[in-house]
Amino acid sequence: MRQVEAAVPLMKISQTLALHETQMLRDAAELVDERLARLNRDIRGCEDPDSRGLLDAWEYLTGFGFVACQTFLTATSNYGKRSRYEALELGPRHVCGETMAALVDAAANHWKHHTEWDYQNLHKRARSIITRLERLGVVANDFGHYPVGTAHVKLLASREATFGNLVPFLERWRDELWG
């Protein structure tokens, strides 16, 4: 009887912490989206945004947004009953068949680690990340196709590519994790 009583407050504490993580994610999404909106205006108004470095800035800032989302996934999965990798298989699925959580995780990992990879001799984890992004329809090689920004657009195909529009998918993931 005592173990059950102790478990209830612990679960409420975990859910409270996860709700706090959700609010921090919303705040981070708002911050990144605000900057991306300005950057997108600059890109649309520029004759050659690639040579001006605007697309590199878009890719970098989008990667930053994905890492904020990945931090939410990692922190929130720590409050659940499943391993992080089991947790990534939960929640809404994209039309490509992958979960939104797993695609967000792959995009964040690609952005963080792609400069370390030897694309002629990829290790297992790198291949897994690239394969997942390719299922989304993203070219994720070392030839400058802006894979992270492209992943963001493809993830939200029928919606405006903002991190604010991605948050509800991650909230549904969180809710399933708690289920």
Reported as a pLDDT band with limits 50, 70 and 90, residue 2 is very low
Helices (H), the chain: 2-44, 54-78, 84-87, 100-113, 124-135, 147-155, 163-178
Q: Which residues contact 65 (CB under 8 A, 6 or more apart)?
A: 28, 29, 32, 33, 36, 152, 163
Q: Of 65, 25, 12, 62, which Cα lies nearest the Cα of 171?
A: 25
Average pLDDT over residues 66-91: 91
Q: For the chain, which residues make up each domain, given as ranges?
A: 2-178
**Is the pLDDT score of 150 beyond 60?**
yes
pLDDT number for residue 142: 62
Q: How far is CA 80 from CA 84, 85, 141, in A?
A: 9, 12, 34
Judge contact between 21 and 170, C-beta under 8 A: no
Per-residue model confidence as pLDDT tens digits over 26-54 = 999 999 999 999 999 999 999 999 999 99
Reported as a pLDDT band with limits 50, 70 and 90, residue 120 is confident
More confident residue, 14 or 152: 152
pLDDT number for residue 83: 86
